[in-house]
Structure 1
Amino acid sequence: MRILWLALLLGSEVWAGQQYFRQSNATTWDEARLHCQACFKDLTTLTCWNIQDIAKNLSSDFWVGLRSSLNGPIPWSRWSNGDPVTYQNWYPGHPVPKVETCPLTPNNTSNSTMEQKMNNTEEQCPLVMEILTCLNLTLNELKNISGPLVNPTPPISYSTPLPTVNITSNKTQTCDHKAEKYIEDSCVALLSFGMWKEKQCNESLPFICYDDTFFGEIKVSNVTKSEGFVEWSSGPGNISHYVVYFYDVVKVTENTTINNSTTVELCKRLENLTAGTLYNVQVYPVKCGRDLNPQNISFYTSPSDVYDLSATNVSTTSMELIWSHLGNCDFYLIEGTHKPHEIKENKIVIQNLTPGTKYDFTVSAVVNKTTKSVSATYSNFTLPSRVQNLTSADTFQTDITANWSESEGLHSSYRICLYETSECISCGQCENCYNTTVTNFTFKNKASGKKYSLCVAALTNNDTISGEMVTIEAYTRPKNVELGNLVANDQHIFANWTINGSYKEFRVSIEAAGLKETNDITKTTDYNFTGLKAGVEYTVTVTTLSEKHGLESEPVQKSIHTKPTRPPWAIAAVLNQTSIALTWGVPSKSEGASNIKYNVTCHSVYWKTTTVYQTYENITFVGLNSGTTYTFKVTVVAGNLSSDPAPAFAETKPNTQTLRFAMLCSSQIALYCNNSTVQDNTLEELKKYFGGNLTGINWNLKMVDRR
């Protein structure tokens, strides 16, 4: 009987559920199997999926788990672990049959004969179909093969050339090699180049064991901030103990020592852990001194509490939160009446807040994205924003009225303060501070003419939190002075005054018609004006000034004339029998002044007339009596003051008339009346008589006839 053995070409994929272990110590097949069953699963099986990996880099022959006597009357049908043999890669000529035959004896038959043989092969060798399946071939595809058939290239290149089996069209074929001896109870060895060959089972060879990859279950429970309880499933076979490794996943990259311990139990309590930390746990079952595939699990310890949450650097639109926390965490979660934030540090500046608004904050330490610590809570208000457009009326002598615009954001009221210093201090209990809900306020009964600091701030949280104080200067209007009597002489005027209230200084001025005004500033309550013109009416003005430029009292005025001085000269010039022109000089202390007023008096003794004229310039008298002497006086008049007069005299031209008087002289003394001396004396007496009655006119008395 001839059996067709096909060398099968398999892929290199390894079954992920098994692991393979080469054992270098040479033993018999039975000893190898006992060792594999004790410390692994069994001697390895070979499949088209694992052959390439198992056969890689073999340096010698190895026992595998196939023995002819394991499966009763059908040799080589099952592996030592009971799996069916679905893949074979025998060395040509093997296994040696019990009756030696040629491996393949084809004859020159027709295609139908070949097909019959293939069908017979299918009937006689049920494993052929499984082999074809492994080769991804069908029976029909195999039937179409013609010409020489060469064993396929094995999975790994080998240095030893492989023998080939040729299928030819010769009618007869004989074996051209010497048949090897049949082994009654044989075991399979995997040759170094990947093919199989049966050998005596008591021969000593290294061997290959396999074991199913261990996938156990592990879980963690009762996790706290510093502890965790780990449980795992038992390993397969004879497990001597378990090695438990656990470590901080973050710090293990910093070469931190990994904690390990051994136990025969299926659980362990992990203690002295750090809160909020990711730990990795690996439990290795140890079997025959070999670590099986570990059971792995990672878990976070509970994060510790967040505490001492507070705020600093609070402004109108932001505040900085800071807090304390022990242990580790992935991040801190800040929640509340604002947009949530996730940060790594234990402080954060929350921005874009509304002024004067209460915000609630909750800070938690978070691990594993969802596990939160006990949170710390905190509430605080942002500062109210500054008030806008703060102004003071500054129009009243004892009141200050403030006005401002609403502040942005929220507020409960406003605090307004008035200080006599330049510093503003928000003080809810101070006498000079008041709370109001409107945007204006009037301080009454303040000292006039005084500088104040006016301060306004928005309040929130039931008026307990103040925003930034806005400060401006505010002033009461100064009062008017009480101007006393002015004292004047010819070129000086002295003024003094009193005032009730505060002031900075006074502006004093003096003016007169036609003269330049004089201004000055003084801090005293009196002033002496000098360099004035005599005989001029001056108006003195005193205005109270405050520290604010342009803020002043109503001006207070008084007028007075400087004392006039007499004209330096006066001249009366006769124009004709009835007119006299009177001129005079301007007083030297009045030169340059306009509108100097003069009183001019014209007096006639004879006619007993006195005429007074007020004038600002020279004057001509008309309509006078001829031959009359007129006396003139020119005085400077200033208010009710007059200077000394400047006199002048003049006599109008006479209109001459002659009057004759006859005088009869009688005397008891003879010839007395004819005496010239007596006559002259008589004439003088007559002159005295007429002189006493004709004063002020032009007359002359003379003797024209002496008898």
Structure 2
Amino acid sequence: MRVLWLTLLLGSVIWAEEQYFHHSNPTTWDEARQYCQACFKDLTTITCRNVHDLLQKLGNSDFWVGLRRSFNGSIIPWSRWSNGDPVSYQNWYPGHPVPKVETCPLTPNNTSMNSTGAPKANNTEEQCPLVLEILNCLNLTLGELENITGPLVNPTPHSLYSSPLPTVNITSNETQTCDIKAEKYIEDSCLALLSFGMWKEKECNESLPFICYDERFFGEINISNVTKSEGHVNWSQGPGNISNYTVKVTGGHESNVTTMVKILKNLTSGTLYNVQVYPVKCGRHLNPQNISFYTSPSDVYNLTEMNVDDTSVRLSWNHSGNCDFYLITDKDKPDEPNTINTTEIKISNLVPGKEYTFTACAVVNRTTKSVSASVSFFTKPSRVLNLTSADNNCTVISAYWKKPAGNHSSYNICLNEASNSQCENHCQPGNCNQTKVEHFTFTDKTPGMKYCLCVAALTNNSQLSGEMVTIAAYTRPEKVELLNLFPSNQHIFASWTVNGHFKEFLVSIEPAGLIKEDRTPYKNYNFTGLKAGVHYTVKVTTLSEKPDLKSDPVYISDYTKPTPTPWVTAIVLNETSISLTWGVPKESEGASDIKYEVTHHSAYWNSTNSTQQDKNLTFVGLRSGTNYNFSVSVKAGNLTSLPVFASNQTKPYRKTLTFAMLCTSKTPLLCSEGQTQTDTLNELTKNFSKTFLGIHWNLTMVVRK
């Protein structure tokens, strides 16, 4: 049966003026979208407003557009365009989009269904379980259905869907299943606009032409510093990756620039100029920004400066009579006047810290100038540039900066301890010095301390100060001293001292991987979870308030105390070999560098041999029939655990040695008595036991008559 498609009521979308661009080079959907986002806005959406414009240039090809079955984690398939807009218009090719094929069992139900899957009568809440079975087939919950369609009361297809809803045929039968049958389902599918205007999903990796869209660009453009012969044009940045701007000026002059400002020179005074600036994006000229202006060339009194800062000033004057406009001139730039139609003007782009003399005159008939009034003043020095502190010495702060833009006579530099995390209002005049060079050194400062460093430029014989530039400056913290380790089997306690201030300490222990580095505000740290009998290196670094400013690290190494091996076993292999194995101490499990001191000793041969091993070993070249005693101790530097013992005897080479004894006695027939023979054998055995201790032997008496 066909899957039940649920309608989605979509809200309105804010409409912007859009342009559409058809690209005939086939690419995958992802490649097409990447190109559209780089050179345009995105892959196009389709709405009732633009569908006719898009269809006019389709030709005989299918085109990718900006719709994907599941995009940006959308729960509802085909619900959002790639630019985030909701899908408010659809024109699917019949049978599409193809649903996912699924089957599920239906529980018995006495409700009769007609050919379209709707109940014949009595559609009440008691019959809703059948609807739940349908939703189960569609992998939907009743809540999800209501979120999409609203309350389930007389649901009707949404008018935005051009294709009719397919029917669902369900028969109440305990053994029957509901089948969702469709054409080939594409898991990762993207929308293709067919050449005749309908929609169909296709594999996103298939290569098709594509359609991009872009919103028409409307920017801002400004003209400033207009004189008789010049004008400074600046404009707003174009959208996306703009390679350059084409500037067209009245008279046919055209130029390409990569900045957003153009100084127009060689203009004619009193002339109307039209300027167009076209952003160039991927070789395409966007909508131009347009501006028009006149060049213009005024008798004034009481010329006064107000609101003087580092790069601007506000001039005001009085004037009686008529004039077309006023001409304001910088004495140092007489050929670059400013024009204004009021008796007040703000002049910008001044040189900081410089003495200026401005004149103002009224201009009549665009050619006649009045007697000029003049005013002189100093602009404030600008902020010093790139103020930095070396931050690499424990007791010295070295400040460096670059000259500010414009003019200055000297510098005022201050250094104060920071009382809080912010360096605000910390530049009291009593803690300042003056210098004429762009660097200054403060000595005898506290290690690891945060300071506020402030510098301002001075002008007008050091009477006028510019804005203070303030940064945080730090002395480097001292490295720790008297670093000591106190190891146990599975712990190492470290303690240290340090001079000066600090924020915290960075502590770490190696071998890496056994424990991670950590931070502590205290002058000690207990490393836990260690392995017994392992060589560890502890590193401690002093940290300051500045994240990247720290002392040199201090290292110290030691072994954790070893613990004995839990068992030792000696296994005889043959007449000259014994395999010795032992267990790893529980406290050392997982450690890769545990060493063992292994000793074997033979009492008879009076031989002892020791070796250091990191794993079980086999002793070869031993003497046959000899008892060997073994001991295994865990070795950690100069520390050794208690030994664990084992012993065994190599297999003997069996040989028979015969020696004769002559028995003589004053007592007749004493040598022939059995007790005499037994006593003799016992005495010999006692002597052999003392002599052949630790080797294999067996003594048997053979009596010859």
Question: What TM-score, normalized by structure 1, do the two folds share?
Answer: 0.48
Structure (1 or 2) with the larger CA radius of gyration: 1
